[in-house]
Chain A
Amino acid sequence: MNRKVYGKLIFELSREGRRGYAVPRNGLSDDIVSESVQLPEAMRRATPLRLTEVDEPTAVRHYNNMSTNNFGVDTGFYPLGSCTMKYNPKINEEMACHSCFAGLHPSTPAFAAQGALQLYWTLQKALCEIGGMEEFTLNPFAGAQGELTGLMVIRAYHASRGEGEKRRKVIVPDSAHGTNPASAAVCGLDVVEVKSRPDGTVDVADLEPLLDDTVAAIMLTNPNTLGIFEKDIPRIASLVHEAGALMYYDGANLNPLLGVARPGDMGFDVMHVNLHKTFSTPHGGGGPGSGPVGVRKGLEKFLPNPRVVRRTETPDRFPVNESDRYAIEYSPLALGSVSATLGNFAVQARALAYILTLGSDGLMEAGRLATLNATYIKEALKDCYLLPIEGLSKHEFVFDGLRDKSTGVTTLNIAKRLLDHGYHAPTIYFPLLFHESLMIEPTETESRETLDEFIAAMRDIAREAIEDPETVKTAPHLTPVTRPDDTTAALNPVLTFDSL
């Protein structure tokens, strides 16, 4: 990356009176205009709108240069742990942008949108098969909204049994993603933390005394946030079910299990998946998310409205017309709606394209390669980075900073220095189980060469930490912005150019 870095704001380029185009005069006399468009005084601006004034080449260069400052999976390796930043195949975009999907109005009647409803239904069924669930809703707009929806299903289930008031507790391990306790709190439930063992797995002995008839559910991520598979899951599930509570599966780490193991078979009752992680739809700044929620048999009636069903016959047992095959239904028992229509449809289109492109064999291969890639990096670096938990891990793993801590180089410094090498930083200081957590998830879409280059960069930084620690501690040196003052940014955020 040898280009000159660009870091200007469009406001800095503005010069009074400068124009890209001269708008022709409207040909009407000012009198006519002011009489016919007489806005009340109170509704008129007191001062002219402050727009930037630039010529066309300046505007074009500004935005082109800005665009080259972007970093994404399309520009480089993005090993952001827990986020599954896999490459998003372009065929997904092509499918989602097809005019028959992209041009469809959300309120189109079902008979005129059979193809779109078939897509929704097919993806529902595919996710049921992958997750081992009875039914899915694709309506939630994101992972956290999926968690909230799932917990609302659980609350509705307990309420239907007359235990809604009594079962208010949600058990969450201390190694969980922060969204778990947050979703439970937003759902109006009480969060109870269960301590995890050193490897982040649930300590059954600690869990058991917490289980009684006040517990609504336990939320688990499997493999957990250290990438370790929860081997006690059948025992945990049976204890939780004996107590009358439900098992919630956080789908953040579903990727390594694709086609290998299913949350439904492990005893989970409700789960969400992140289409923007596991199913390769754009992620982060790249696009909206989607957090479908699946439930085991018996809970499907609580799923939110509206729902898509496939009909084989009419209520009076006549064969159904092709134009009525797929229908939108509203269940009276549903917990309500979590989105006005059927969620982020274009994201669903991308996810289905991904699933159909890979097929079941391809999906299984993807999950296994995700584990292989992570393990490859882990084994290649554990002599210079501290691996706190030895043993098998899945699609991601956590280092606790450098092995040699005498130089004072921290995980933050390492992450910043990686930017100079052209990589997105891994997840840092999460999970909170270690002081210097550095969480790496390469995903399956990276070649061996990419992994080797990343490993070389990480080794380079480890060596530099000993030979020239100052360079690492003051990194990054090659980015448009080097070290933003994150404390001041949190305390006194400057949100407009005027307040600069």
Chain B
Amino acid sequence: MILYSKTHEYIRVEGDKGYIGISDYAQKQLGNVVYVDMPDLGDEIEKGEDFGAIESVKAASDLISPVSGEVVEVNEALSDDPRLINADAMANWIIAVSIADTSDLDDLMDQAAYDEFCAAAH
């Protein structure tokens, strides 16, 4: 199950674990990504708060977490080549978290709702 936030992060939910990245739409809007600032393993992150930042040739944006939880995986490949996000944003998640409370997912959008949200944004 993949859900999206209004700040264009996605979370792919697998059991109690969630893989968080930025959407394909966000990737396109940002342009070529040159740096991803990621949290450390074991960090506690909070829904609605920033857990890192992403920098492109155009802009720098905070990464806002769609859920609260502990960081259990960090995609180290992005440190070497942040452009992986442009190549495939959905496959190249940024961090994985253990979701503390699944009700955090309630206000997120599914694919159809998110597509509509993006279409309305432009």
Same assembly: yes
Which residues of chain A have a CB within 8 Å of any CB of chain B? 178, 429-430, 432, 435, 486-487, 490-491
What are 19 of the A-B contact pairs (CB < 8 Å)?
A178-B60, A429-B58, A429-B59, A430-B59, A432-B59, A435-B29, A435-B122, A486-B32, A486-B57, A487-B32, A487-B34, A487-B57, A487-B83, A490-B34, A490-B35, A490-B57, A491-B34, A491-B82, A491-B83
B-side interface residues toward A, CB under 8 Å?
29, 32, 34-35, 57-60, 82-83, 122
How far apart are A174's CB and chain B's nearest CB, in angstroms?
11
Q: From residue A395, how far is it (CB to closest CB) to chain B in Å?
A: 24
User: Smallest CB-CB separation from A491: which chain B residue?
Assistant: B34
Most buried by A among B35, B57, B59, B83: B57
**Cβ–Cβ < 8 Å partners of A491 in chain B:** 34, 82-83
Complex interface: chain B residues within 8 A of A429 (CB): 58-59
Which single residue of chain A is at the shortest CB-CB distance from B58? Answer: A429
User: Which residues of A have CB within 8 Å of B60?
Assistant: 178
Task: Give the shortest distance, in Å, between B88 (CB) and chain A (any CB).
Answer: 16
Question: What B residues does A487 contact at CB under 8 A?
Answer: 32, 34, 57, 83
**Chain B contacts of A430 at CB under 8 A?**
59
Determine the distance from Cα of A429 to Cα of B58 in the docked complex, in whole angstroms: 7
CB distance from A361 to the nearest CB of B (A): 41
CB-CB under 8 A from B58, the residues of chain A are 429
User: Inside 8 A of B57's CB, which chain A residues have their CB?
Assistant: 486-487, 490
Contacts of B34 in A (CB 8 A): 487, 490-491
Q: Which residues of A contact B59 (CB under 8 A)?
A: 429-430, 432
Q: Chain A: which residue is nearest B121 at the CB level?
A: A435
Instruction: Give the distance in Å from the alpha carbon of A11 to the alpha carbon of B59 in the complex.
Output: 34
Q: How far is the CA of A435 from the CA of B56 in the complex (A)?
A: 14
Bound-state Cα–Cα, A490 to B122, Å: 28
Q: How many angstroms between the C-alpha atoms of A178 and B122 in the bound complex?
A: 24
Residues of chain A with a CB closer than 8 A to B122's CB? 435
Chain A hits for B29, CB < 8 A: 435
Expressed in whole angstroms, the Cα–Cα distance for A174 and B103 within the complex equals 28
The CA of A26 and the CA of B82, in the complex, are separated in Å by: 58
Q: Which residues of A contact B35 (CB under 8 A)?
A: 490
Q: Which residues of B contact A490 (CB under 8 A)?
A: 34-35, 57
B55 — nearest CB in chain A belongs to which residue?
A490
CB distance from B83 to the nearest CB of A (A): 7
User: Closest approach, in angstroms, between the C-beta of A404 and any C-beta of chain B?
Assistant: 14
User: In the bound complex, what is the Cα–Cα distance between A418 and B83 (angstroms)?
Assistant: 29
Distance, CA A85 to CA B32, complexed state (A): 29
Closest Cβ neighbor of B60 among chain A residues? A178
Query: How many angstroms between the C-alpha atoms of A490 and B54 in the bound complex?
Result: 13
A residues near B32, Cβ cutoff 8 Å: 486-487
- Return A273 CB to nearest CB of chain B, in Å: 26
A-B contacts besides A490-B34, A490-B35, 11 pairs, CB < 8 Å: A178-B60, A429-B59, A430-B59, A432-B59, A435-B29, A435-B122, A486-B57, A487-B83, A490-B57, A491-B34, A491-B82
Chain A's closest residue to B81 (CB) is A491
Q: How far is the CA of A490 from the CA of B29 in the complex (A)?
A: 18
Alpha-carbon gap, A432 to B32, bound state (A): 16
**Distance of A375 from chain B, by nearest CB (Å):** 27
CA of A178 to CA of B60, assembled, Å: 10
Whole-angstrom distance between the Cβ of A401 and the nearest chain B Cβ = 10
The distance from the CB of A431 to the nearest CB of chain B, in whole angstroms, is 10
Distance of A429 Cα from B60 Cα, bound (Å): 11
Query: How far apart are A347's CB and chain B's nearest CB, in angstroms?
Result: 29
A430 to B32 CA separation, bound complex (whole angstroms): 16
> Would you give the shortest CB distance from B80 to chain A, in whole angstroms?
10
Closest residue of chain B to A436 (Cβ to Cβ) is: B122
Q: How far is the CA of A487 from the CA of B31 in the complex (A)?
A: 9
In the complex, how many angstroms separate the beta carbon of A493 from the nearest chain B beta carbon?
Answer: 11
CA–CA, A490 to B35, complex, Å?
9
CB distance from A429 to the nearest CB of B (A): 5
In the assembly, what is the distance between CA of A491 and CA of B59, in Å? 15
CB distance from B50 to the nearest CB of A (A): 10
B92 vs chain A, min Cβ distance (A): 16
Q: Find chain A residues with CB under 8 A from B82 CB.
A: 491
